[in-house]
């Protein structure tokens, strides 16, 4: 790969680390290309945000391939992760503190497996109040952090597969294959409510986007090292 090939367009598969924003990962790639390949200007963008508390596959496009971003964003995605059963948080994940606890004595593995059926196929879902969706010109999380009440419209999303991979209460591990726009945090919250309890997301990893897999992705620092090596060839 050369400076020209990145200008012409490359798809870079990044394994986004925990606590990194998707924006940081894009900036790291852009900086590595500019610094090591002598590029003054290059377009770089990602095909689908991952929350800072999530890890895994982030597709980054360079140069002319940034035009492919809408097509890549529309692809089916696969996630693995963990729900914590018996407690909720306002953000539906670990960004905020637990705000309520619920009974779990009645929850069995059978009930957990049965409940997944309610979340398979086309479902109505409300995005979390702590999300980047815009309402009245502001992102929802900006309203939420100010304690402002906002009416959020539900949207239709499709869950193609919902598999429980481990039950060790209060933790439940899962694998979900879903359409663009699906919030796994919302599934976590709604899943707990459907079992007459509560739940929130404690771990999330994006493993696939279409045919792209996190197994073929590299960490941002490894990408920088790779590009530095190209410069020395």
Under 8 Å between Cβ of 33 and 12: no
Is residue 51 part of the annotated active site? The answer reads: yes
Which runs of consecutive H residues, i.e. helices, occur in the chain? 3-8, 22-37, 69-73, 109-115, 140-145, 184-194, 220-232
Active-site option among 51, 93, 136, 221: 51
Which residue is listed with tokens 């949207």?
155
SS3 label, residue 162? strand
- How many H-runs (helices) and E-runs (strands) does the chain carry? 7, 13
**Contacting residues for 230 by C-beta, under 8 A, at least 6 apart:** 1, 2, 36, 37
Whole-number Å distance between alpha carbons of 227 and 98: 43
Peptide bond into 108 cis (omega under 30): no
Residues that are catalytic: 51
């Amino acid at each position: 790969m050369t400076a020209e090939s990145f200008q012409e367009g490359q798809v870079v598969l990044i394994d986004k680390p925990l606590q990194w924003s998707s924006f940081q990962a894009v900036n790291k790639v852009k900086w590595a290309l500019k610094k090591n390949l002598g590029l003054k200007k290059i377009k770089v963008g990602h095909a689908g945000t991952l929350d800072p508390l999530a890890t895994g596959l982030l597709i980054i496009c360079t140069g002319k391939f940034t035009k492919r971003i809408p097509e890549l964003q529309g692809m089916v995605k696969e996630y693995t992760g963990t729900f914590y059963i018996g407690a909720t948080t306002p953000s539906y994940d670990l960004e905020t503190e637990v705000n309520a606890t619920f009974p779990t004595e009645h929850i069995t593995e059978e009930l957990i497996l049965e409940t997944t059926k309610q979340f398979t196929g086309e479902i109505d879902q409300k995005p979390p109040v702590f999300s980047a969706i815009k309402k009245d010109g502001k992102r929802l999380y900006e309203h939420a952090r100010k304690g402002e009440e906002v009416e959020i419209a539900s949207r239709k999303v499709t869950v193609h597969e919902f598999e429980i991979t481990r039950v060790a209460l209060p933790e439940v591990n899962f694998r979900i294959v879903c359409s663009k726009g699906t919030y796994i945090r919302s599934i976590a919250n709604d899943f707990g409510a459907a079992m007459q309890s509560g739940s929130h997301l404690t771990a999330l990893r994006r493993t696939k986007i279409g045919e792209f897999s996190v197994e073929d992705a590299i960490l941002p620092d490894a990408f920088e090292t790779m590009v530095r090596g190209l410069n020395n060839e």
